[in-house]
Structure 1
Amino acid sequence: MSECPILDENGIVYRTCEADGVLRVLASARRREIVSELEASDENWITVDELARAISATGDETDDDGWAGELHHVHLPMLRDIGLVDYDRHGRTVRYYRCDLVSSVLEAVDSEVPSAR
């Protein structure tokens, strides 16, 4: 299997992930939207509430509270499991780690489906 480096904010390899895991997680349009929002941020930390507000502002029918619940129970644990985020459930903060494969997948999907966002 192919492994991809996941980098911290200093560009140091934090850990590696399996390409199959990244592709499996990014198969969901919702998770691609979440990761796109994290990728676009200048910071590597965000609160769950800020992330939910940013995503619900993109025009999806889900409100902030609905997104916060989905983030907490579904999406952030999956992203954590493959190593893209650290998620503090009690502090409700998310730390994002960059991965070139993730960026490439998002770019490829966005170029193929212009209305994806």
Structure 2
Amino acid sequence: MNDSEKRLDNIETVRNHPEEAYEPTLSSETIARVLKNQRRETICRVLANGSNVTTLDELVDTLVELEANATEAEIEPDRESLSIQLHHVHLPLLEDIGLIAYENRCGTVRYWGHSKIEKHLD
């Protein structure tokens, strides 16, 4: 199992993010560990620069396009594998730290944002 497939141990979690404006307290270590993974960093960039609500399918489409352009390979990243990774690994982890809300039944991803994350992405 590679780094992108592992859940991070010992990270701060905020399970149920409230609807009102709220920014969970995240340590610099937690932010660095979450964004250390290139795919999670890309997910955060896409969400921070897009609308606050998207779907899993739209996110997969965007990531496939970005990754295909970045590698300039003729082989496109595997959509099904990417969708599974997002659903089971990356989105739950981002939800655990309070950065997003992911409704897996309808595939909706709501980006809450975080000033420290966005500062790191700049």
Q: TM-score, normalised by structure 2?
A: 0.72
What runs of 5+ residues in structure 1 fail to find an aligned partner? 1-7, 108-117
Query: Which is bigger in relative contact order (C-alpha 8 A, separation at least 6)?
Result: 2
Deviation at 1:78, TM superposition (A): 0.6
Aligned twin of 2:60: 52
1: CA distance between counterparts of 2:99 and 2:46? 13
May I ask how many residue pairs the two structures share in their alignment?
98
What runs of 5+ residues in structure 2 fail to find an aligned partner? 1-17
1:20-39 CA deviation, whole Å, 9 max, x = no partner?
Answer: 32221111111001111101
1: CA distance between counterparts of 2:120 and 2:19? 20
- The two structures, once aligned, show a CA RMSD in angstroms of 2.2
Greater fraction of residues in strand: 1
Aligned twin of 2:111: 96
| Contact 1:9/1:44, CA 8 A, preserved across alignment | no
- Quick one: percent identity of the two aligned structures? 35
Aligned twin of 1:5: none
Structure 1 residue ranges, 4+ long, deviating more than 6 angstroms after superposition: none
Query: SS at the partner of 2:106?
Result: coil
Aligned twin of 1:72: 87
Which amino acid letter does the alignment assign opposite residue 73 of structure 1?
H
